[in-house]
């Protein structure tokens, strides 16, 4: 897997939102990562950390009040280079997204099938009878009987609407799927069904997936790798097992400690304080006021992004000694 070329590469991605009265919110602050075919990466963090903004930027779907900087290479091509002009040919065809709450966003007066056929006809990948045949295939792929294409959204249960939303995202056979909290409103049993489906799709179709969620155990179950976001930055990224067993950023460790585990015995510990506001420049490490390990450099110097082990990077002064030991 690691030998394959990345299919998606974000480089120093920034997003600012204009706020009323001449101020800006720096929602995404230099996010970089790579994603390989068939790989499942979790993008984890609390509300407001910039995870949804990041994937909306990858899709070129940010509102007009946002400005974007950085590069997003999709199969080698920089799709941010010329704004809408360079991203629109790829949107849905090469990179697609399942929006948060997508299962509730179907048009109630149109059949599920006709709504899944829409992007095919729009992008000219299939029309008429061919599109209808493809819709049935897609529905079967996500575990819904093809005959149900003629049914309306209200005739589907929540779990089935979510499957249909995934089928819709797959309509134009993308290579990268971005899924924003795809199981948040679902019961655990239905969640398990959807997660199993997502794993199967990446395995069978070689689809690369970014799973955006606040739920660490979901990432632990489904993803190979995880990127933990805080205050607009990826503060730690690596193999999921490494991040769990050897976290190199206190936020990652504290986030795990705040998550109850079904069979765990340890106390569940909240993280004091709240994330910083992103409408002014932050001096030092943004996690300092909440961190249980902060020391001298943290309030004043922004930490460097360091590779603490191959494929494992963190943004924390606790790892600074690694640089001191290494010849420059």
Partner 1 sequence: MSAERDTLLEVDGLVTRYRVPRGVLGAIARRPKETVHAVEGVSFTIATGQMVALVGESGCGKTSTAQTVARMVDSEGGAIRFRGREITQLSARSLRPLRREIQMIYQDPYESLDPRFTVRDTIEEPLLVHRIARGKEEREQKVREALVRAGLSPPELFIDRYPHELSGGQRQRVAIAASLVLDPKLLVADEPVSMLDVSVRAGILALLDGLRKEGMGILMITHDLSTAAHFADRIAVMYLGRIVEEGPAREVVRNPQHPYTRALITVVPKRDPREQTTPQILTGETPNPIRVPPGCRFHPRCPIAEPQCSEVDPSLQRPRDAATPDHRAACIITAPGPSADEVGPDGDGAPHG
1 binds partner 1 (CB under 8 A): no
Show contacts with partner 1 in window 20-49 (CB under 8 A). 46-47
- CA distance linking residue 170 with residue 141, whole number of Å: 10
- CA distance linking residue 87 with residue 91, whole number of Å: 6
Q: Are 138 and 148 in contact (CB under 8 A)?
A: no
The partner residues of 68 in beta bridges, in order of sequence, read 15
293 binds partner 1 (CB under 8 A): no
Minimal distance, residue 225 CB to partner 1, in Å: 10
82: DSSP letter: T
Minimal distance, residue 286 CB to partner 1, in Å: 14
Q: Which stretch binds partner 1 (CB under 8 A): 56-64, 122-130, 147-155, 236-244?
A: 236-244
Instruction: Identify which of residues 271 and 322 has a Cβ nearer to partner 1 in the complex.
Output: 271
The partner residues of 212 in beta bridges, in order of sequence, read 43, 180
Count interface residues toward partner 1 (CB under 8 A). Answer: 41
309 binds partner 1 (CB under 8 A): no
Q: Name the 3-class secondary structure at 133.
A: helix
- CA distance linking residue 317 with residue 297, whole number of Å: 7
Among candidate residues 225, 175, 237, the one with its CA nearest the CA of residue 205: 175
211 binds partner 1 (CB under 8 A): no
Number of H helices, E strands in the chain: 10, 12
263 binds partner 1 (CB under 8 A): yes
214 binds partner 1 (CB under 8 A): yes
218 binds partner 1 (CB under 8 A): yes
Q: Binding residue for partner 1 (CB under 8 A) from 81, 105, 133, 268?
A: 268
296 binds partner 1 (CB under 8 A): no
Show contacts with partner 1 in window 112-171 (CB under 8 A). 157, 159-160
215 binds partner 1 (CB under 8 A): yes
Q: Binding residue for partner 1 (CB under 8 A) from 52, 53, 134, 191?
A: 191
Interface characters, 79-108, with partner 1 (x: CB under 8 A): ------------------------------
Instruction: Identify which of residues 258 and 301 has a Cβ nearer to partner 1 in the complex.
Output: 258
Residue tagged 């399942």 (tokens): 98
Q: What is the CA radius of gyration of the chain?
A: 21
CB atoms within 10 A of CB 191: 19
Q: Are 198 and 182 in contact (CB under 8 A)?
A: yes
By DSSP bridging, strand 176-180 and strand 208-213 are parallel
Measured N-to-C along each axis, helices 158-169 and 112-123 cross at an angle, to the nearest 10 degrees, of: 10
Q: Binding residue for partner 1 (CB under 8 A) from 196, 204, 279, 292?
A: 196
Q: What is the binding site for partner 1 (CB under 8 A)? A: 46-47, 157, 159-160, 187-193, 195-196, 214-218, 220-222, 240-241, 244-245, 254-256, 258-264, 268-271, 274
């Amino acid at each position: 897997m690691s030998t394959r070329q990345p299919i998606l590469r974000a480089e120093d991605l920034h997003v600012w939102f204009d706020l009323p009265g001449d101020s800006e919110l720096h929602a995404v602050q230099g996010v970089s990562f790579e994603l390989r075919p068939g790989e499942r990466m979790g993008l984890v963090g609390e509300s407001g950390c910039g995870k949804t903004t990041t994937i909306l930027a990858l899709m070129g779907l940010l509102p007009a009040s946002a400005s974007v900087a950085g590069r997003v290479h999709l199969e080698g091509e920089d799709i941010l280079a010329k704004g809408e002009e360079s991203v629109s040919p790829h949107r849905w065809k090469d990179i697609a997204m399942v929006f948060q709450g997508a299962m509730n966003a179907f048009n109630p007066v149109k059949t599920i099938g006709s709504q899944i056929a829409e992007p095919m006809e729009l992008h000219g990948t299939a029309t008429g009878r061919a599109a209808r045949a493809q819709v049935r295939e897609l529905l079967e792929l996500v575990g819904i009987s093809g005959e149900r294409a003629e049914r309306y959204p209200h005739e589907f249960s929540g779990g089935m609407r979510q499957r249909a939303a995934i089928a819709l995202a797959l309509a134009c056979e993308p290579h990268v799927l971005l899924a924003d909290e795809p199981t948040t409103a679902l019961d655990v049993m239905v969640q398990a069904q959807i997660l199993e489906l997502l794993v199967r799709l990446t395995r069978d179709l070689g689809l690369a997936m970014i799973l955006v969620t606040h739920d660490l155990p979901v990432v632990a179950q489904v993803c190979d790798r995880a990127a933990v976001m805080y205050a607009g930055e990826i503060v730690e990224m690596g193999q999921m097992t490494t991040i769990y067993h050897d976290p190199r950023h206190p936020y990652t460790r504290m986030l795990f400690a705040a998550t109850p585990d079904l069979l765990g015995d340890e106390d569940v510990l909240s993280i004091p304080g709240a994330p910083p506001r992103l409408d002014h420049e932050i001096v030092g490490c943004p996690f300092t006021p909440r961190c249980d390990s902060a020391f001298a450099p943290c309030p004043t110097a922004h930490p460097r992004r360091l590779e603490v082990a191959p494929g494992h990077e963190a943004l924390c002064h606790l790892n600074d000694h690694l640089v001191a030991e290494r010849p420059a």
